[in-house]
Structure 1
Amino acid sequence: MSVVSIPLPAVRPAPWRHRLAKFGPTGLCAMAVLIFWVLAAVFGPTLLARSGAHGGGAVFAPISAQHWLGTDYLGRDILARVIEGARYTVGVAMAATLLASSAGTLLALLAAASGRWIDGALSRVLDTLTAIPSKMFALLIVAGFGSSVPVLIVTAAVIYVPGAYRIGRSLAVNINAMDYVTVARTRGEGTWYVMRREILPNILGPMLADLGLRFVYVVLLLASLSFLGLGVQPPMADWGSLVRENIGALADGGTSVIAPAAAIASLTIAVNLLIDNLPGRKARERGAR
């Protein structure tokens, strides 16, 4: 009597595990670093306030069991200051990046879908804004309106709207020339429908990748403004201002300068590595070649 063996169905990994595996080891490490800083920005200051981790110690104290990264020029714990600074570095940069990318993408869709006159007018205005050096423009705005958090967000967003617009427009113009967009116009669909349903879904992936790069640029811009004393003002502090406050003790209390600088480097490198390891990015690059 023969026994019929019934093959068992293969056990497939969970969808989220399958998606995470596409990032590779480097991408997963970069994602972990990015998630850590986001969680530190959201929950870190609250946890530090409850635990009383700020403490007080000697000025520029070295690394110890009590102060893992030493202390600053007022005897405050550097680790606590870096975690507090994540709220303004990550939060302000994320808000400015989302504002810049959203405005740039919307203007790009409008330029591609509306016609030659609107496209030409938007392109000329934003090209003029691109011609102004970003640091100089930021210094002028901050000098004129102060360095409050809303002003910094709007300033950084305005500076990087033209870059997002140019990337979005180059993608949207190509999509706008496709046959299915022509069909949509032929059946009577309006400009808003074409922008929202036909063009935007096809440029969303590249624009999200550009958003990550734009975030890195904004972080570096805000850090440089804070280093010059024109960014986030005391008692608030971001990583750039932490470097500026303690730069005089680089020889004796080096960790008070190196720790926030390393935080900036880890955040920007993590975002770049995550973008480089996005699923399908390498395949698209090979196809482009």
Structure 2
Amino acid sequence: MTATPSLRLRLRNRGLDGVTLLVLPGVLFVVALFVYPFLYGLFLSFRPKEGGPLANYAAFFSDPFLYTTIWKTLAIAVPATLLNVVLSIPVAMRVRLMRRQKLLTTILVIPITLGTVLVAEGLLTYLGPRGWVNRFLMDFGITDTPIRLIHNYWGVMLSLVISGFPFSFLLTLSYVTGIDPALEQAGRMLGARNRSRFFRIILPLLAPGLAITLALSFVQAFSVFPSAVLLGAPAGPTRVISIAAYQAAFEQYDYAMASAIAMIMAAVQIVIVVGLLAARGLVFRGPASSGKG
């Protein structure tokens, strides 16, 4: 019976308490799962097959076939992110007033449970040259030849919207439901119209949450890979940076070059995310909610 108090006393003397013992495994897990692989890839990128430590980075930015993948990825990820977040706002505003909110939310998040690959395979079935969409268009005389809806930019964009919208919607809904409805009711009592209440009350309070939603949705869209391969043109307009990293690692067996491309990919994401988080305070400085309940 005296062993436990003595153990606690020794832990306290060393500056450790129960909270620290609970947090420590989580910190070690994060280090093992994220920090160590990142540091390993970073150091590996400075060990090229030939040349100095920066040879891989110099090779990437000197080859148009490689560095243009950054702009191609941004051209897909940025519009998809903005579209998902913009569409999620009115849907979340509407869903928060519904009684069967849980049921509708469950239906909208089904694409997340299916995964990117299954969504891409489904789009191949629906949007292919012999898919149901083209059959419908040709049977009703809308078009004489199949419309090319996949293996191009728009096929990848549609896949990112279908798979990314539920994620943006869930985040937006959590922030929208956290805003005190009394604020909007006060604006209504003072004669403010729906548009004025949204832009003057809801949107400023929602801005910090939307910045986080934009950042997380952008990271998800920027790392697109299966959709770009299955629904896009991997050698053309949808040759995203993740495909370049894959080819360097598993086709050229140059893991140092693949690590360098991954580090460049991470750097672009960090710049965009930091910019979004820094800009979220320009509209409203304060919490996203106002103590509802």
Taking the aligned partners of 2:75 and 2:240, their CA distance within structure 1 comes to: 10
Instruction: Select which of 110, 116, 120 maps to 1:134.
Output: 116
Which residue does 1:210 correspond to in 2? 213
Query: 2:200 is aligned with what amino acid?
Result: R
Q: CA deviation at 1:165?
A: 1.6
Matches within 5 A, 1:230-269: 230-236=231-237, 237-246=239-248, 247-250=250-253, 253-254=254-255, 256-269=257-270
Query: 1:263 is aligned with what amino acid?
Result: I
Taking the aligned partners of 2:176 and 2:170, their CA distance within structure 1 comes to: 10
In angstroms, what is the RMSD of aligned CA positions?
A: 3.9
Query: 1:240 is aligned with what amino acid?
Result: S
Give the structure-1-normalised TM-score.
0.59
The count of residues paired between Structure 1 and Structure 2 equals 215
Taking the aligned partners of 2:156 and 2:210, their CA distance within structure 1 comes to: 23
Query: 1:264 is aligned with what amino acid?
Result: M
Which residue does 1:150 correspond to in 2? 154
Taking the aligned partners of 2:188 and 2:57, their CA distance within structure 1 comes to: 63
Q: CA deviation at 1:66?
A: 11
Query: 1:242 is aligned with what amino acid?
Result: A
Q: 1:232 to 1:223 in 2, by over 3 A?
A: same
What per-residue deviation string (whole Å, max 9, x for no partner) do you get for residues 208-248 of structure 1? 1220111001112x13444x565443233221222343432
Matches within 5 A, 1:53-92: 62-63=50-51, 69-70=58-59, 79-92=63-76
Secondary structure in structure 1 of the residue aligned to 2:67: helix
Taking the aligned partners of 1:155 and 1:233, their CA distance within structure 2 comes to: 15
Give the structure-2-normalised TM-score.
0.58
Q: CA deviation at 1:87?
A: 1.4
- The answer to which of 149-158 and 266-275 deviates more is 266-275
Q: 1:70 to 1:109 in 2, by over 3 A?
A: same
Query: 1:182 is aligned with what amino acid?
Result: Q
Taking the aligned partners of 1:205 and 1:235, their CA distance within structure 2 comes to: 37
Instruction: Select which of 78, 92, 95 maps to 1:111.
Output: 95
Matches within 5 A, 1:145-224: 145=127, 146-178=150-182, 180-187=183-190, 189-220=192-223, 222-224=224-226
Q: CA deviation at 1:266?
A: 2.3
Query: 1:156 is aligned with what amino acid?
Result: L
Percentage identity across aligned positions?
A: 14
Segments of 5+ residues of structure 2 without an aligned counterpart are: 1-48, 128-149
Q: CA deviation at 1:272?
A: 5.0
Taking the aligned partners of 1:245 and 1:201, their CA distance within structure 2 comes to: 44
What per-residue deviation string (whole Å, max 9, x for no partner) do you get for residues 128-166 of structure 1? 344332342134325653231112112112212122222
Q: 1:190 to 1:284 in 2, by over 3 A?
A: closer
Secondary structure in structure 1 of the residue aligned to 2:186: helix
Segments of 5+ residues of structure 1 without an aligned counterpart are: 1-60, 72-76
Q: CA deviation at 1:104?
A: 0.9
Query: 2:68 is aligned with what amino acid?
Result: E
Secondary structure in structure 2 of the residue aligned to 1:234: coil
Secondary structure in structure 1 of the residue aligned to 2:234: coil
Secondary structure in structure 2 of the residue aligned to 1:174: coil
What per-residue deviation string (whole Å, max 9, x for no partner) do you get for residues 50-98 of structure 1? xxxxxxxxxxx94589997448xxxxx8642232111111111111111
What per-residue deviation string (whole Å, max 9, x for no partner) do you get for residues 104-125 of structure 1? 122112333xx32585675343
Q: 1:67 to 1:163 in 2, by over 3 A?
A: closer
Secondary structure in structure 1 of the residue aligned to 2:177: helix
Which residue does 2:16 correspond to in 1? none
Matches within 5 A, 1:23-38: none
Do the aligned partners of 2:111 and 2:166 also contact (CA within 8 Å) in 1? yes
- The answer to which of 163-172 and 232-241 deviates more is 232-241
What per-residue deviation string (whole Å, max 9, x for no partner) do you get for residues 179-202 of structure 1? x31123335555444334321221
Taking the aligned partners of 1:66 and 1:181, their CA distance within structure 2 comes to: 57
Q: 1:171 to 1:260 in 2, by over 3 A?
A: same
Taking the aligned partners of 1:182 and 1:169, their CA distance within structure 2 comes to: 19
